[in-house]
Amino acid sequence: MNTHVDPFDVLVVGSGLAGLTTALELANGGRRVAIVTKRGADTGATAWAQGGIAAVLGANDDFAQHEADTHHAGGGLCDAQATRLTVERAPQAIRWLQAQGVAFSQEGQALHLTREGGHSQRRIVHAADFTGRAVQEALLQRAREHNAIEWFEHHMLVDLITSQRLGAPGPNRCLGAYVLNEATDTVQVFAARATVLATGGAGKVYLYTTNPDTATGDGVAAAWRAGCRVANMEFVQFHPTCLFHPHAKSFLISEAVRGEGGVLRLPESAGGTRFMPAHDARADLAPRDVVARAIDFEMKRHGVDCVYLDITHQSAAFLQSHFPTIRGRCAELGIDIAQQPIPVVPAAHYSCGGVMVNHHAITDVPGLYAVGETAYTGLHGANRLASNSLLECVVYAQLAATHIAQLEPLASASLPAWDDSRVTDADEQVVIAHNWEELRRFMWDYVGIVRTNKRLERAAHRIALLHQEIQEFYASFHVTRDLLELRNLVQVADLIVQSAQQRHESRGLHFSLDYPQAAAQPQPSVLRPD
């Protein structure tokens, strides 16, 4: 079987907002684009986003305030240029999305703006409480209809193909990727003059997460193996309010619920009182890291399984209008949010670190770009401000597309086929499942909301053992999606722990009992491949 796919101008790995924006901008400019996505096109994290997109559109708002809020949430580690660039391009990003057919919520003739934790103004553009789904559906329809975009669903990135990997002379360059076609169970060769990683985050490295099952750090791990630096991997954002219910399946309760007056309370068994005012002057509108740590503290102090988010002061009509998805899902589980508080716990939500890129989303390896949650642009610093993530996806995808469109075509190169002639079918798939469970559990226990040197050492030891076992498995057996995802998660877990061990302070999303104070001159934690 010929495993080579015809060359493309651009290979986009991932079909969320970042990947779709990149693909559409390039296809509209006449480039031939392949979109590779490891499951269905609509199964990534974008469709799960409830809140919205931050942009300065209100009469009392300005860029300086949005920048200040971003820097404050980011704990002094946000890159000033990246922040300014993103904030100033936000209104244009909203207009671009509207032009693609995204129907945002209106208030009269204007966009309705809501407020979320960490924001000093109402600046969150949204589509009720299903913004991500509205954005995903609109862009996906455009991409499906575009004759310059070719789709490869149920295709998973195995590894990037670089000149260094091939032993070619000269500087390292990305030439394309090896991709597992699940339908044929073969690894195909995709050649492209530019490859864009838009694979999302790595929330599945933790036992409890708001992320979909696809969030296994594929892009970060592949870029690291290809020779790219990563930064700030220790800053994993735990969303403070994930629905606590045995059948909820990672359902998050949007930040906007607190933005519309929702308050956090202890369970009735522990007094039922509000507790956020005792932790921060901003109370329930404090940034996510503050709220997540406060919830973690109160749960441990009182020995309770969850806390409660109370929005019962709002009418049923208001809740149906503003939070139909949340109200409907809670109702399915027997919770009437107009009458009852919502049980919530923190859960791993967003990776603020990632593959280091410049202001055109270019990585350390020419020909390779990273956008969205896969990338580290410097915007989020030590903690992402709510609703800056979808914004970053659009802004940096457009910047990447602009740069890629200016590239000269590469001379065609003969890329070698994937060699699996010396491997066999695995006879112990259960090993993968067990290793996955072990990894996610000890990452939750040792590298969670509150960390210590001893916990990090324990995690590093376990990761080293898992890494060796998985590498032996990878070298001996045919690759499968489960094996590839586990391989990537172990690599990302190692990067998270290494970064956490580098940071001898507490800042933003990284809180250490051994280093409770913040350093005077913080720096990003940068890791370089050997």
Q: What residues form DSSP beta bridges with 247?
A: none
CA dihedral 402, 408, 414, 420 (to 10 degrees): -20
| DSSP, residue by residue, 184-228 | TTEEEEEEEEEEEE-----GGGSSSBSS-TT-S-HHHHHHHHHT-
Read off the amino acid at residue 197: L
Q: Are 270 and 290 in contact (CB under 8 A)?
A: no
Q: Please enumerate in sequence order all residues whose Cβ is within 8 A of that of 306, keeping only pairs 6 or more positions apart, or say none.
A: 244, 267, 299, 343, 344, 345
Position of tokens 């090993």?
431
Q: Strand, helix or coil at 178?
A: strand
Q: Are 220 and 393 in contact (CB under 8 A)?
A: no
Q: What is the 3-state secondary structure (H, E, C) of 46-98?
A: HHHCCCCEECCCCCCCCHHHHHHHHHHHCCCCCCHHHHHHHHHHHHHHHHHHH
Angle between helices 430-446 and 453-476 (to 10 degrees): 160
Q: What residues form DSSP beta bridges with 150?
A: 34
**Which pair of structure tokens corresponds to residue 463?**
């990761």
Exposed/middle/buried for residue 99 (C-beta within 10 Å: 0-12, 13-18, 19+):
exposed
288 is annotated as an active-site residue: yes
Position of tokens 């991409």?
143
First CA to last CA across the chain, in angstroms? 36
Exactly one of 31, 89, 288, 440 is catalytic; name it: 288
Q: State the Cα–Cα distance between residues 403 and 362, nearest whole angstrom.
A: 9
Choose among 34, 413, 395: nearest CA to 196. 34
Catalytic residues: 288
